[in-house]
Amino acid sequence: MPDGRDLDREGVTGLRHVAVVGASLAGTRAVDALRAGGFDGRITLVGAETHLPYDRPPLSKQLLTGTWPVERAQLADAHHFADLGVELHLGVAATHLDPATLQVDLAGGASLRPDAIVLATGGSARMLGTGGLAGIHTLRTLDDSLAVKEAFDARPRVVVVGAGFIGAEVASSARTLGLDVTILDPAPVPLERVLGSRLGTICAELHSDHGVHVRCGVPVAGFRGADRVREVVLGDGSTLPADLVVVGVGIVPGTGWLSASGLPIDDGVLCDEFGAVDADRRILAVGDVARRRDPATGTTVRAEHWTNAVEQARNAVGNLLAGPGNGTPYHPVPYFWSDQHGIKIQMLGRPAPGDDLEIVSGSVADRRFVGVFSRGGTPTAAVGFDSPRELAGYRRRLAGATPQAVIARTAV
Ligand code: FAD
């Protein structure tokens, strides 16, 4: 527990008990921020998964290739929560929230009555119709990753459906293990939605050069097999042999348990720029589940990236402790990274379709460069391929320059 400095929070905010629902990255960072901010009341952290909180980026990278043991992906151990005096309820899903009383019902019949609640329920992987066939996986959880890794051990022919970041990373990891891999996407090039067509083409070449069969521009129509998947059927009528399919077609925000709550839900939980869902700032939303209103543009944004989950959780908790009328609005420079075939791809800001792209340093041929997107001469985003140091300088330049209007309603 904290040592008693600056702990008169109850007098400021009336907070005695904060419940955090969702025990992953944003939830863990939220409880850390509560204690770091001097809150010495009761904290309850509720998580549907039975595992201690773990990090998801290694699930498609180091855990799949076997370069990390599972323990290395853990975000915090039981001692950490014990030291913070956090009551941990793992393997228990929240089933309902009453915003009027802040009562949170839990599976199994128990309930909580905190003074404030942090919603950090992230999202779950979207799945396609499998027709009940075995051998078709998604990759969102530790259990998913372990299941795919185990399936890799049988040296299957792998088909990855969806050439977004998760799909591209799974394809890269499978090739690292020497597996036969095909990646499919209805878009003309991988990662087009986030990186645009020029960088998507560079990614397609990166994958092809590492032996991934890249098949873009055609949708998946279905799967065939007896009890296990044997073929992927494409929209043009052709088929691909497959022993293992990994589907990476996005997530569904974790709002199902809130459907009867009356909270504002629209592809995520709507919150303001302070993270508050309600006017009293007693219900907060953070991480992948949060869809933030931007009053400057009238748009909303939901991010699905690690750094956002960390920064938004810290910001919202700081605002909770500051009390209504105080605090700091959250206006981040969006950031994500991805690792594919040994190349670190990083993006600061977010480009819109039609933005100009100029390679400002390095060499595309070497796959080591920085590119800057701009619109009307104003930089909108910077992307680095294996250039972390060069890219870092762009964070400050992009602060305030990110065109929030163009990322309206974009889950990224
Ligand atoms: P989640 O991590 O989704 O956690 C939400 C938690 O809430 C889950 O544990 C869930 O079980 C729990 N929950 C849901 N409903 C309930 C309920 N009703 N009651 C109780 N608990 C509930 N980002 C990057 O920037 N770079 C990367 O390289 C990168 N790689 C990734 C690789 C993979 C395989 C995945 C899946 C994601 C990756 N990300 C990456 C994204 C990043 O991991 C996420 O943005 C981050 O995990 C979001 O954290 P979160 O806590 O908001 O949500």
Ligand 1 centre and the CA of 283: distance in Å?
20
For residue 351, give the 3-state DSSP assignment.
coil
User: Ligand 1: residues within 6 Å at CB?
Assistant: 21-27, 46-49, 56-57, 59-60, 93-94, 120-123, 139-140, 166, 254, 257, 287-288, 304-307, 309, 336-338
Nearest ligand 1 atom to alpha carbon 60:
34
Rg of the chain's alpha carbons, rounded to an integer? Answer: 22
Q: Helix-strand-coil percent breakdown of the chain, rounded to 5?
A: 30, 35, 40
| Mean pLDDT computed over every residue of the chain | 93
Ligand 1 centre and the CA of 377: distance in Å?
35
Q: So what's the pLDDT on residue 324?
A: 86
Q: What is the pLDDT of residues 211-251, one digit of tens each?
A: 999 999 999 999 999 999 999 999 999 999 999 999 999 99
169 Cα distance to chain centroid: 14
Nearest ligand 1 atom to alpha carbon 145:
34
> Do strands 410-411 and 299-302 pair parallel, antiparallel, or not at all (unpaired)?
parallel
For the chain, give the percent of residues with pLDDT over 70. 94
CA distance 121 to 345: 27
Q: What is the pLDDT of residues 327-338, one digit of tens each?
A: 999 999 999 999
Ligand 1 centre and the CA of 209: distance in Å?
31
Closest C-alpha residue for ligand 1 atom 3: 122
Residue 331 neighbours by CB under 8 Å, 6+ apart? 273, 294, 400
Average pLDDT of the segment spanning 27-37: 98
Ligand 1 centre and the CA of 57: distance in Å?
9
The structure's pTM equals 0.94
Closest C-alpha residue for ligand 1 atom 36: 140
